[in-house]
């Protein structure tokens, strides 16, 4: 049940690791119930793969495998028949993952699939769809990198140029794709990756969409991303190959960063909704695409993302003059941002749970350019109150988003 992208709807961003227990299980079902009571239509999560040693799900050891650490029942029994059936269906990647992860690698994927599919079915019954996340890159030395070295370059690593998020740029360090090699194999690796992603979610956010037009390549063994340069990406050819194999592409373009006309042209040619972030709107530029007056309907608006400060933290960082220019209610800036997103023209409005709770910088999920202290925020028991759900539901109804059809 994927809501049309021209139909007004809203949802909440909360990764399963931010549930009180930090995994699936009773807390995940309780969160679905709370979202339904709050009149929401979408639950957005971050990538579901195994995170790196610092907790980042964007540098995963696999672009296909889900993380065992999310399991509510990690020791549940798995039959040999289930294993054989899973191997047949997931033949493209499961042997590579088993060689890399060892142990109960296959059984863990079956356990995850059981738990996630049950949760997804429950969410659908409560009127909720799921938005996932498709990171553009994989981890150096991860399962995909080791199994398909021919699909990656050796003369540089991934990153982002200096921008408002980081004055030195972001040195991600992921291996770069050899797009010519991927083209020769018909983009099979990417087709199978998207197929697997859509096993779990109804709509997927394509991380760093601009990298498919041109990506920032940083030479090996440098200390910052400032010395990188742009290289041409695959453009429409990749998406056309995926569409030819999989049909419609239920994707959101995360078109943030250094955006050129070519990036917007690719997004629009593919018919994908773009992304705008309210925290980026108030720079005094009347043409700023993040400013609500400039929105199109085919957009996803967020108060903030996993990479930004919370709305309250952002507000606290502004000067008095900058605050006055935003039009945000100073008595409750976080909720004012929530209402601004909901009332905008964008088809889908997504709010991080931290902003609904009105939390400050201490609840931030990630600080780009830093390696420690990220990805660890969790809900506290009792924070998801009936009163808070009613407040969000009232705002959702008032802004004519489709969540109002849900039963109380």
Catalytic residue, candidates 82, 95, 240, 307: 307
What is the C-alpha separation between 180 and 151, in angstroms, rounded? 9
Do residues 402 and 7 make contact, with C-beta atoms less than 8 angstroms apart?
yes
DSSP E strand boundaries for 192-317: 203-206, 214-218, 229-232, 251-253, 274-277, 299-302
- DSSP run (H or E) holding 177: strand 170-177
Catalytic residue, candidates 207, 309, 339, 355: 207
> Parallel, antiparallel, or unpaired: how do β-strands 203-206 and 251-253 relate?
parallel
β-partners of residue 131 are: 44, 203
Catalytic residue, candidates 108, 254, 255, 309: 254
207 given a catalytic annotation: yes
User: What tokens were used for 185?
Assistant: 């194999």
332 given a catalytic annotation: no
Do residues 219 and 227 make contact, with C-beta atoms less than 8 angstroms apart?
yes
Query: Dihedrals φ, ψ of 76, to 5°?
Result: -60, 145
254 given a catalytic annotation: yes
Compute CA distances 157 → 92, 149, 152, 187, 297, whole Å. Answer: 26, 14, 10, 20, 36
Do residues 44 and 27 make contact, with C-beta atoms less than 8 angstroms apart?
no
Do residues 78 and 158 make contact, with C-beta atoms less than 8 angstroms apart?
no
Active site residues: 207, 254, 307
């Amino acid at each position: 049940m994927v809501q049309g992208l021209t139909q007004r709807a809203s949802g909440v961003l909360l990764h399963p690791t931010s549930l009180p227990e930090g995994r699936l299980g009773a807390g995940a079902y309780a969160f679905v119930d709370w979202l339904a009571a709050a009149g929401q239509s979408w639950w957005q999560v971050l990538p579901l793969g195994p995170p790196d040693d610092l907790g980042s799900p964007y540098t995963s050891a696999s672009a296909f495998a889900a993380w065992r650490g999310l399991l509510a029942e990690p020791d549940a029994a798995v039959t040999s028949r289930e294993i054989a059936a899973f191997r047949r269906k997931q033949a493209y990647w499961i042997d590579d993952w088993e060689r890399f992860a060892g142990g109960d690698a296959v059984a863990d994927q079956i356990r995850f699939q059981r738990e996630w599919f049950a949760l997804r079915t429950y969410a659908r019954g409560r009127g909720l769809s799921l938005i996932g996340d498709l990171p553009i890159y994989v981890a150096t030395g991860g399962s995909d990198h080791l199994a398909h070295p021919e699909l990656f370059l050796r003369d540089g690593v991934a990153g982002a140029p200096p921008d408002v998020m980081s004055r030195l740029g972001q040195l991600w360090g992921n291996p770069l794709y050899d797009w010519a090699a991927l083209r020769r194999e018909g983009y099979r690796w990417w087709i199978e990756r998207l197929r697997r992603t859509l096993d779990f979610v109804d709509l997927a956010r394509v991380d760093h969409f601009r990298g498919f037009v041109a990506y920032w390549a940083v030479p090996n063994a440098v200390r910052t991303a400032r010395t990188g340069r742009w290289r041409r990406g695959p453009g429409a050819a990749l998406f056309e190959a995926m569409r030819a194999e999989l049909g419609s592409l239920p994707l959101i373009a995360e078109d943030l960063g250094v955006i050129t006309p070519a990036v917007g042209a690719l997004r629009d040619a593919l018919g994908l909704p773009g992304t705008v972030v309210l925290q980026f709107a108030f720079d005094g530029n009347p043409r700023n695409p993040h400013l609500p007056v400039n929105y199109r309907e085919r957009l996803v608006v967020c108060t903030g993302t996993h990479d930004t400060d919370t709305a309250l933290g952002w507000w606290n960082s502004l000067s008095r003059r900058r605050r006055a220019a935003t039009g945000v209610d100073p008595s409750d800036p976080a909720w004012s941002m929530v209402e601004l997103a909901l009332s905008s023209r964008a088809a889908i409005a997504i709010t991080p749970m931290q902003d609904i709770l009105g939390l400050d910088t201490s609840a931030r999920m990630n600080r780009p350019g830093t390696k420690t202290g990220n990805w660890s925020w969790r809900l506290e028991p009792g924070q998801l109150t009936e009163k808070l759900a009613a407040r969000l539901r009232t705002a959702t109804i008032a802004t004519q988003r489709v969540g109002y059809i849900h039963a109380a």
